[in-house]
A = this chain, B = another copy of it.
Amino acid sequence: GEDGLRFQVDMVAAAREGGLRLIGPNSMGVVNLHAAMGMTTNAALEAPGLIPGPFSVISQSGTALGALLSRGQARGFGFSKLLSIGNESDLSVGEVVDFLVDDPDTGAILLFLETLRRAEDLALAARRAYAAGKPVIAYKIGRSDAGQQMAVSHSGALAGPDAAATAFFRHHGIVRVDTLEALLETPNLVSGLKPATGRRAAVMTTTGGGAAMVVDRLGLTGVDFAVPPASVVTRLEGLGIRVGGSPVIDVTMAGARPDVYGPVLADLLTDTGNDVVICVVGSSAQFRPDVAVQPIIEQGGGDKPLAVFCVPEAGDSLKALAVHA
C-alpha cells in the first residue's frame, strides 16, 4: 500500500546516503557460483552440486530463477551469477546487466522479465554487452492480454504492448526467445558469437525421419537451406551417397562411422555457403556417442553457430554437449 511505498522510498534514500545499493523488494536472493556464495530464500537455489559456468541470470521472478537453475542443472548447464532482482526499487535490471558486462566470469546474460522497468538502463547496457561480445538473451512474458494482466498483478509494474518489447529487444541487440527452455538452449549456441549475417542453414543428419521433423519446423521459421559444398558432395559420392536434391545432408547410408561424420562436419563448418550448421543425431546419441556426438563436441565452439538435435532421449549426450560447448 501507500505506507509501504513511502517506507521503500525512505529506505532507498537512506541506503544511498550511506553509500549502499539495494536489491528488491521481493528478491529471493543472490547466488555466485564461482565464489560458492548463496544468499537466498528459494529452496531450488540451495540445490547442491550446481555447476559453475559462464552464464549469469537476472530474473524478475524468483520462481523462474529456481526453475532455470534446476532445469539447467539437469542438463549440465553452467551458471555464474544468479540474481532475483525483485521490484527494482533501487538497482534495475539494466544496471546489473551493465555490471555483468565487465564481469570476467560472465560470458552471456540471461533475462527473465515480466515487465520493462527503466528501459533506458537496459538499452545502454545491452549495447555495451553487444560490443563486448556477450549475448543478452531474454524471455519476457506479457505476450497475451491475460499474461499482461497477470504480470501487472504479480510484479506491480505497468505493462506496455508486447510488440513494443519485441522492437526494443531487436533494436538493442537482445535475443528474444519464446520458451523457458529456449533460455537454456540458446546461450551455448550463440555464446561468444556475433549474430549471424545470413539465415542459410546447413542440416546434417544420421536419420532421414529425424531430419524431416527438424526441416519441417525450420521451414516454418523462414530459414533458407544451404546447398552442400562441392567438397561434401565429392566426399559422399565416394561412399555411394548422393546429396544435393534434398535440403539435408543425410549420411545414414555411410553407416555409423565417426571417420565419415567428422570430415563432413568440418567441411560444413568452414563452408562460406551457410551461416549455421544444424546436426540431427539419431539413435547413436543414445547408444554410440562416438559416431556423431563426439565429433560435434570436438568441432563445436568455433566461429559458426552449431546446433544439435538429438532425436531420442539422450541425457548423457546432452550433458556432454552442454559441458563442452
Contacts and interface: CB of A to CB of B under 8 A. Distances in A.
Contacts of A220: 143-144, 147
Chain A: number of interface residues, binned into ranges? 35 or more
Contacts of A74: 313, 315
B42 A283 contact: yes
A213 B44 contact: no
Nearest to A144: B219
Contacts of A70: 286, 312-314
A294 to B, nearest CB: 18
Interface in A41-64: 42-44, 61-64
Interface stretch (A243-251, A265-273, A299-307): A243-251
Contacts of A245: 153
Interface stretch (A17-25, A186-194, A203-211, A231-239): A203-211
Contacts of A166: none
Interface string A135-153: 0000001111111111101
A31 to B, nearest CB: 15
Interface in A240-265: 245-248
Nearest to A224: B146
A219 B313 contact: no
- Copies of this chain, complex-wide, total 2
Nearest to A206: B63
Contact of A218 (B42, B144, B283, B311): B144
A114 interface: yes
Contact of A67 (B148, B149, B311): B311
Given A71-B312, A207-B63, A154 B43 contact: no
Given A149-B246, A149-B247, A150-B247, A141 B42 contact: no
A61 B212 contact: yes
A297 interface: no
A282 interface: yes
A7 interface: no
Contact of A209 (B62, B144, B213, B248): B62
Contacts of A151: 212, 216
A32 interface: no
A52 to B, nearest CB: 18
Contacts of A141: 212-213, 216
A202 to B, nearest CB: 13
Nearest to A42: B283
Contacts of A325: none
3 closest cross-chain pairs (CB), A and B? A144-B219, A147-B216, A61-B209
Given A63-B311, A144-B219, A148-B216, 7 more contacts: A44-B283, A44-B286, A44-B312, A114-B209, A144-B220, A147-B212, A147-B220
Interface of A: 42-44, 61-64, 66-67, 70-71, 73-74, 114, 141-151, 153-154, 180, 207-213, 215-220, 225, 245-248, 282-283, 286-287, 311-315
